[in-house]
Amino acid sequence: MKKKLQILPSIIAYFFVLLFCYASVSKILDFENFQLQLAQSPLLSAYAGFISYAVIVLELLISFVLLFEKSRNVGVYASTALMSAFTIYIFLILNYSDFVPCSCGGILEKLGWTEHLIFNIICVFAGFLSLILVARQEQHLFKRTLLIIVSTNILSILLVIFLFISSEDIIKHENNFTRRFLLYPVVEDKIKNLDHDQYYFAGNDGKHIYLGNKSYPQRLTTVDYDLNVITQMRIIPDSINHLFKNLRLQVLYPYYFLYDGTVPVIYRGKVGSRNAETISYKEAYFSQMIPLDSGSFVVRTMNRDSRQLSIASFDIHKEPKIKLFDHILEKQADGVFDSDGQLAVSENPRRPIYLYSYRNQFLTIDHQFKVKKKLNTIDTISKAKVQITSMSDGRHKMSAPPLKVNQNIAAYGNLALIQSELKGKFESSEEWKKAKVMDIYRTDRQEYIGSFHIFNRRKKAMSDYDMTDQYLFVIIGNELIRHKYRKPLTDYLNRGSRKPDPRVGTH
């Protein structure tokens, strides 16, 4: 028995050699996937680049040290400390992370997180046992061995905890363009076929979603949340003898608005009624518009004096009807192309949002037209990469295709879903061909929550999407798809959110 106990430390040492050699070689052979897994870790995302190399180097170095009898004890100390780090990492994943990622890769890829935790604890115990058995052969080293074991393992545990805390802060508040793909924060649960693929979201009222149509701009389509009943109505304006260029439709229940800012004209009608009256004609030119109530709007227009894009209020009941707020959009180059973006609206409470297309920023705007928050997306393009050529008449034009950062935004409560156009660190180009990437942000403070994919269907990509309090609705080709929210989105939507008005539209 005594002889067997003397052999046991050597057996444990060679076990660690096999374990770390196999693990490190597996990581090297599938290094890109290993980095991607680390990037999706809820604990170490911000350090995926450094840690992916450090872990492999450590495992190979420890294996090498364990091969030699003179340095074997040092190798077992290091092995035990490393396994303690892996153990606390899994413990934090299971108990303190926002989500639990899939248990992928490594020597025990068939095991789940709990099984991994048990295996790691056994390895830590084996390391302790090996060192204690060696120390008992030389009694004067026993206390020192115990002190080194305890101190190295505590240090490794504290290091992982530190990395976890700092990584979370970096990912959420100072992200270095490392996306964290959440496990199914939305789940597709129902599909409705539409008659063609030219629809876009025009709003909702808490029970129905409303669709506009690019091919038939005077058609208002209503679909209930259960995607069972579709009704269509042809809008009949009181005057239509205009040269329309971009006739669009929006719903803010109980009204719908048909408009073209190039004419410019705004029609208003009541949902359910075909007849729409002209409420504004040649009073304000605009490129985008969001209704705030039955007669007031926030618009994006061109300042005639500066020839720069500007956000303005437009109220048909006031004089002057339009008021410019030039401070909202910040000029970087020409004040037109560099400030281009999407004017949208968030509900609960209802407030305008502006998403820049060519830089990593979006704005929340209050009812006094003050910028409430300037928030950044996780990519690193803080200055619009647009090349501008000045014309002899004072106008500007792009001399090269710009680098587009953000494509679209939808928001509800304190959450925003932004469709990104840029690939982050450790992301697969193949995935970008198959899906659109949605990044989730807080709108009340600077915080990135995570990302998810909306995958193409029948070789068609998502064309539009909208958020409500209950569902994410998506249009792909001629399909209207409903998604249910899951954690952590449900937590964020329910946290501190007042009950929404069921008869108010979104966007």
The residue ranking higher by pLDDT, 495 or 38, is: 38
CATH number at residue 439: 2.120.10.30
Question: Taking the CA of residue 454 as centre, how many other CA atoms within 13 Å lie in the half-sphere pointing to its CB?
Answer: 27
Residue that is last in its domain, among 129, 144, 173: 173
- Please give the pLDDT value at position 385: 86
256/131 same-domain check? no
pLDDT at 106 over 70: no
Tell me the pLDDT band of 19, cut-offs 50, 70 and 90.
very high
- Please give the pLDDT value at position 397: 66
Within a domain: residue 499?
A: no
- Please give the pLDDT value at position 4: 57
- Please give the pLDDT value at position 105: 47
Within a domain: residue 503?
A: no
Within a domain: residue 507?
A: no
442/421 same-domain check? yes
Q: How many CB atoms lie within 10 A of CB 296?
A: 15
- Please give the pLDDT value at position 496: 43
Tell me the pLDDT band of 317, cut-offs 50, 70 and 90.
very high
pLDDT at 95 over 60: yes
pLDDT at 426 over 90: no
In sequence order, what E strands does 225-274 have?
230-234, 236-237, 248-252, 255-260, 265-270
pLDDT at 173 over 80: no
pLDDT at 45 over 90: no
260/112 same-domain check? no
For residues 353 and 342, what is the distance between their CA atoms, to the nearest angstrom?
A: 8
Which of 439, 465, 464 lies closest to 452 in space, CA to CA? 439
Average pLDDT estimate for 292-319: 94
Express each pLDDT in 455-502 by its tens digit: 999 999 999 999 999 999 999 999 999 999 998 899 888 764 444 443
198/82 same-domain check? no
Within a domain: residue 502?
A: no
Cα dihedral 80→84→90→94 (10° resolution): 140
Per-residue DSSP letter, 47: G
456/338 same-domain check? yes
3-state secondary structure 341-407: EEEEEEECCCEEEEEECCCCEEEEECCCCCEEEEEECCCCCCCCCCEEEECCCCCEEEEECCCCCEE
pLDDT above 90 as % of the chain: 62
82/152 same-domain check? yes
Number of folded domains in the chain? 2
The bridge status of strand 296-302 relative to strand 462-467 is unpaired
Mean pLDDT is lowest, of 33-37, 120-124, 222-226, 233-237, for 33-37
Q: Which residues of 267-291 are buried (b: 16+ CB within 10 A; e: fewer)?
A: bbbebeeeebeebbeeebebebbbb
Q: In what order do the strands lie in the sheet with 275-281?
A: 236-237, 275-281, 265-270, 255-260, 248-252
133/268 same-domain check? no
Contact yes or no for 99/488 (Cβ under 8 A): yes
302/445 same-domain check? yes
Within a domain: residue 483?
A: yes
Within a domain: residue 178?
A: no
Phi-psi sector, 307: left (phi>0), alpha (psi -120 to 50), beta: left
293/338 same-domain check? yes
Please enumerate, as own/partner, the contacts of 35-40 that have beta carbons within 8 Å and a separation of 24 or more.
35/426, 36/426, 36/427, 36/428, 37/101, 37/104, 37/105, 38/426, 39/178, 39/179, 39/180, 39/425, 39/426, 39/427, 40/101, 40/180, 40/181
342/290 same-domain check? yes
pLDDT at 128 over 80: yes
Express each pLDDT in 264-284 by its tens digit: 999 999 999 999 999 999 999
Q: How many CB atoms lie within 10 A of CB 174?
A: 13
- Please give the pLDDT value at position 114: 84
Within a domain: residue 504?
A: no
209/158 same-domain check? no
Mean pLDDT is lowest, of 3-17, 241-255, 437-451, for 3-17
Tell me the pLDDT band of 504, cut-offs 50, 70 and 90.
very low
Q: How many CB atoms lie within 10 A of CB 327?
A: 11
Residues 6 or more apart in contact with residue 367 via CB below 8 angstroms? 292, 351
pLDDT above 70 as % of the chain: 88
Domain interval for residue 94: 2-173
12/84 same-domain check? yes
For residues 230 and 377, what is the distance between their CA atoms, to the nearest angstrom?
A: 36
- Please give the pLDDT value at position 108: 54
Average pLDDT estimate for 237-243: 93
Residues 6 or more apart in contact with residue 174 via CB below 8 angstroms? none
